[in-house]
Amino acid sequence: MEGGAAAAAQALSRIGLAGLAVMGQNLALNVADKGFAISVYNRTTSKIDETVERARREGQLPLFGQYNPRDFVLSIQKPRSVIILVKAGAPVDQTIAALSEHMEPGDTIIDGGNEWYENTERRISEASAKGLLYLGMGVSGGEDGARNGPSLMPGGSHQAYLNVRDILEKVAAQVEDGPCVTYIGEGGSGNFVKMVHNGIEYGDMQLISEAYDVLKNVGGLSNSELADIFAEWNTGELESFLIEITADIFNVRDEEETGNKGELVDKILDKTGMKGTGKWTVQQAAELSIAAPTIAASLDSRYMSGLKEERQNAAQIFKKEGLEEDFSSPISGVDKKRLIDDVRQALYASKICSYAQGMNLLRAKSVEKGWGLNLGELARIWKGGCIIRAVFLDRIKKAYQRNPGLANLLVDPEFAREMVARQGGWRRVVGLAIQNGISVPGMSASLQYFDTYRRSRLPANLVQAQRDYFGAHTYERVDKEGAFHTEWSKLARKARI
Ligand code: 6PG
């Protein structure tokens, strides 16, 4: 039988998915597992066979392989919805071109990749010229999330969302207040929200690595002690996916090593890779005049980690000058128990500052684009499935529900109280790290963010005076309205005589 006829003979699938790399394969199996018949397609056909075989093994799931774009599209019920999960950028355009040729007005393309939001906005208008609907959908949770329940951030056509809402709500992670999916808003809002999620993810990971650095190099904690501490933290206010996997990591032994010695974490080169969403977050923060110092610090730390050779050379140069990178830990006089508790508080307070920055960025973009983002709802869909899932997101959700116009998470009465309660430990940790030459760019950026935001008077008056002095940029006064300019040098000369 000819391919198209074969597809027609079989009952039509409810949805399709093209792009069967790790994320695509697992998401397709998840959809089939929830009882929705799904057609799958991939350019390299061995991936199709692999996915079909997995569907068979995992319980005869209703997943059907199609071997060319036409059969794939025609095997789906109208109005058709096709998820594509290929590398962001040009591959998405190529896949859309191959599939849309066979699609009809009213059909939908859903891009589930980490795409730059403006690419999605361009594709929305290209699709609409053909009568096609479009969603840019952030998908978070890695391989396991895709298979067992990711957090989904779909933005674009509301009608397209309604067409697949029942599927998305079943496929997403489930938490006590609902599935981790919601219609985000128009345009590229879904991709933008996912991008900020990733920026927060960068911040979280940096802060956790700093907590590790301080505990290891100031407190002298071993990997097994670190595993226990993180496991314990994961039962309290810090409970989250990233804290949980960190505890696991410290327990994993190096299998390369003979003689059963040492943990793998110590053998990993200290150079962080990245794909770019964190960089976009920081660029967007700058574009929108939103301070996001913790997220920026996490990005800078990744860049500096990449300079391994330069850092090794620098260590030698400074050693010759008498500045040795010598952590004869635990540093004498440090109360280990107190340090651990202080680091826990510093980590928590620093994270809250980082989430506040991310939320402010989302709000600013929402105002610029008219997306009407609901910050409480975004915190809710991040409670499960995604990489930044954490117990305290429920409290962030409630803070924005209590007051949708909240200027900053830090001034929500509950969070304000917590910040004040934790500032002693937080300051001790940052101070101790600085004194001992251990860089804590994320924790100190968060602390500086807090200290800057809470002060009613900053030294910005002096900067204004300088700007007016050399550039006649004018300044405002505290005691009356208006723009003022002063002949500073003339008056200064007069003052000298
Ligand atoms: C997720 C993750 C994921 C991201 C990786 C890698 O939510 O599942 O954010 O989408 O691609 O974490 O990001 P970097 O390579 O930039 O660290």
Q: Tell me the catalytic residues.
A: 194, 201
CA–centroid distance, residue 198 to ligand 1 (Å) = 6
Residue identifier of the C-alpha nearest atom 12 of ligand 1:
198
Q: From ligand 1's centre to the CA of 20, what distance in Å?
A: 18
* pLDDT at residue 3 in the model: 46
Residues annotated in a binding site for substrate: 114, 140-142, 197-198, 202, 275, 302, 467, 473
Find the 230 Cα to ligand 1 centroid distance in Å.
Answer: 22
- Grouped pLDDT means (10 residues each) for the chain, 497 residues: 49 96 98 98 98 98 98 98 97 98 98 98 98 98 97 98 98 97 98 98 98 96 97 98 98 80 94 95 98 98 98 97 79 90 98 98 98 98 98 98 97 98 98 96 98 98 98 98 98 94
Alpha-carbon torsion, ordered 22, 24, 26, 30, to 10 deg: 170
Query: What residues line ligand 1, using a CB cutoff of 6 Å?
Result: 114, 140-142, 198, 201, 273-275, 277-278, 386-387
pLDDT at 330: 73
429: Cβ contacts below 8 Å, ≥ 6 apart: 214, 339, 342, 343, 345, 346, 440, 443
For residue 107, give the nearest of 127, 137, 86, 85 by alpha carbon. Answer: 127
pLDDT recorded at residue 148: 98
What is the Cα–Cα distance from 89 to 105, expressed in whole angstroms? 24
| pTM of the complete model beyond 0.85 | yes
- CATH code of the domain occupying 459-495: 1.20.5.320
- Residue 238, CA distances (Å) to 4, 225, 252, 388 in order: 53, 17, 22, 11
Question: Could you confirm whether domain 15-183 is CATH 2.60.120.260?
Answer: no
Q: Please give the distance, rounded to the nearest whole angstrom, from the Cα atom of residue 339 to the centre of ligand 1.
A: 31
For residue 93, give the H/E element and its range.
helix 90-100
Query: For residues 248 and 166, is the Cβ–Cβ distance under 8 A?
Result: no
Protein residue closest via CA to atom 9 of ligand 1:
198
CATH superfamily of 195-454: N-(1-d-carboxylethyl)-l-norvaline Dehydrogenase; domain 2 (1.10.1040.10)
Under 8 Å between Cβ of 55 and 24? no
Binding region: 19-24, 42-44, 86-88, 114, 140-142, 197-198, 202, 275, 302, 467, 473
Helices (H), 385-459: 392-402, 413-435, 441-453
**Nearest C-alpha to atom 4 of ligand 1 is from which residue?**
198
Predicted pLDDT of residue 2: 43
What residue owns the CA closest to ligand 1's atom 2? 140
Domain ranges of the chain: 15-183, 195-454, 459-495
- Helices assigned H by DSSP within 288-405: 293-305, 308-320, 336-369, 375-381, 392-402
For residue 145, the ligand 1 atom closest to its alpha carbon is: 8
Q: Residue 97, class by beta-carbon neighbours within 10 Å (0-12 exposed, 13-18 middle, 19+ buried)? A: exposed
Distance from Cα 143 to the centre of ligand 1, integer Å: 11
**CA–CA gap between residue 314 and residue 236 (Å, rounded):** 40
pLDDT at 332: 78
Nearest to 80 by CA among 47, 102, 60: 102
